[in-house]
Amino acid sequence: MAAPIRVLTAVPICDGHDSAINTINLEFIRHGIEVVYLGYHRYATDMVRAAIQEDVKALGISSYNGGHVEFFSEVARLLRKQGADYIKLFGGGGGTITGNDDVIMRRNGVDKIFFAGTSLADMVDYVHKHYGGPHKPFRGSKPNADMQLARKLTEIEDAYANGKKKRPTPKGRKSKKSNHGQTRVFGFTGPGGAGKTTLIDELVLRLLHREPKARIAILSHDPSVVGAGALLGDRATMINSQNERVFMRSMATRGQAGGLSPATEDCLMLLAGSGFDYVIIETVGTGQEAMPFQTGLVHKTILVMNPDYGSRLQLQKIVMLDLADIVVVNKSDQERARTATSEIGRRLDQNKQSQILVSTVANRHRDAGVDELCDLLTEQNV
């Protein structure tokens, strides 16, 4: 796949109207655009920080609750303050934004407002026409560390997308684990809906609290639509990724099967060489056949499962149960969780390996299971 346009979309604080932005997101990805969706009820600082780390061409805001003149203007001001005004700002808000508002917002740095009645096709055409092409170079003072790192990651991804680099074949690929240095790398995989993103977010919270100087990077993957763009939505549920010690990058698979991007290994090597203490890789929601971490990419592989995986026959066909270092039964407060934990435990016993089974409720405050998982992943560093 050629390198697509990347944009970030979000809904401001105190605004829970996400129907419009969801419709626009889907239209964008159908026309080859990668959309990093930050979710709703988001602060201006959240949007700017995410846009810089994701190295998007533009930031789109959907605002229906009023206050748009002030909010859009604040986002534009923060982009300029960070030296990131190469990221264009656009948005809309149905009938809440007037022509007079538009004049003020444009004067304050907003690139484009789509008014009520604008067709989805016109929005797509505008994004392709005005936000396509190569990334603009940094201007003015020296870019900050997040900007430089984000641009290097973009260059790696785009090199693969444009055919300048090829992913090594399994036979020609060497294990790169030894090149991680002091960086600990954890790989999370599992079916969609198992709660991987929420579990990672809770793990990040614990790492930040336990190690006040630790820096964490997250590479989070979502699937590309065949022949089109991708909806990269993990940031919408990543609350703790906004911490200044966390760098998060959303990646699309861009035509590659298996749950990772063609550029994942090289992006990991860049992060490992950039002083991060931990790198967490999250695959897309995978099926029975996926084995994304077989090349020595990570130190620990964590398979996250939902209690409702089906029958015991289905359990026998999940290949990752033979390969994972830690298996997590998330949502263990559900009715079937006890049975699921027992069946998975017996399945792991048959492997006769040193695999560990953990039960968690990732969306529960101070869950003891997530504490246990954090202990297991950091025990070599204590």
Burial grade of 209 (CB within 10 A; 0-12, 13-18, 19 or more): exposed
Residue 75 contacts residue 45 (beta carbons within 8 Å): no
One-letter amino acid at 219 equals: L
5-131 matches 177-381 in fold: yes
Task: Please state, in angstroms and rounded to a whole number, the distance separating the CA atoms of residues 375 and 221.
Answer: 25
- Per-residue pLDDT of the chain (382 residues), as tens digits, is 578 999 999 999 988 888 999 999 999 999 999 999 999 999 999 999 999 999 999 999 999 988 999 999 999 999 999 999 999 999 999 889 999 999 999 999 999 999 999 999 999 999 999 999 888 888 766 899 999 999 999 999 999 987 767 665 544 455 555 467 899 999 999 998 999 999 999 999 999 999 999 999 999 999 998 768 999 999 999 988 889 999 999 999 988 878 899 999 999 999 999 999 999 999 998 776 667 887 789 999 999 999 998 888 888 888 899 999 999 999 999 999 999 999 999 999 999 999 999 999 999 999 999 999 999 999 865 3
State the DSSP string of 123-166: HHHHHHHHH-SSPPPP-SSPP-HHHHHHHHHHHHHHHHHTTSS-
Q: How far is CA 288 from CA 91, 157, 163, in A?
A: 40, 27, 30
Predicted pLDDT of residue 288: 64
Q: What CA–CA distances, in Å, run from 243 to 24, 49, 112?
A: 28, 10, 30
d(CA 43, CA 190): 31
CA distances to 23, 173, 214, 234, 255 from 227, rounded to whole Å, are 19, 27, 39, 21, 8
d(CA 101, CA 98): 5
CATH number of 5-131: 3.40.50.280
pLDDT at residue 3, as a whole number? 85
Question: By C-alpha distance, which of 278, 271, 155, 266 is closest to 214?
Answer: 278
CATH number among 3.20.20.80, 3.40.50.2000, 3.40.50.300, 3.40.720.10, domain 177-381: 3.40.50.300
pTM of the predicted structure, to 2 decimals? 0.93
Q: How far apart are CA 229 and CA 204, in angstroms?
A: 28
| DSSP at 224 | B
What's the pLDDT at 382? 38
- pLDDT value at position 273? 95
Compute CA distances 326 → 177, 358, 372, 374, whole Å: 18, 7, 11, 11
* 343: Cα within 13 Å, side-chain hemisphere: 19
- Distance of alpha carbon 99 from alpha carbon 327, whole angstroms: 55
Q: In whole angstroms, what is the distance from residue 78 CA to residue 59 CA?
A: 12
How far is C-alpha 84 from the geometric centre of its chain's CA atoms? 20
**In sequence order, what are the beta bridge partners of 251?**
221
Per-domain residue ranges of the chain:
5-131, 177-381
- Taking the C-alpha atoms of residue 146 and residue 53, their distance in angstroms, rounded to an integer, is 6
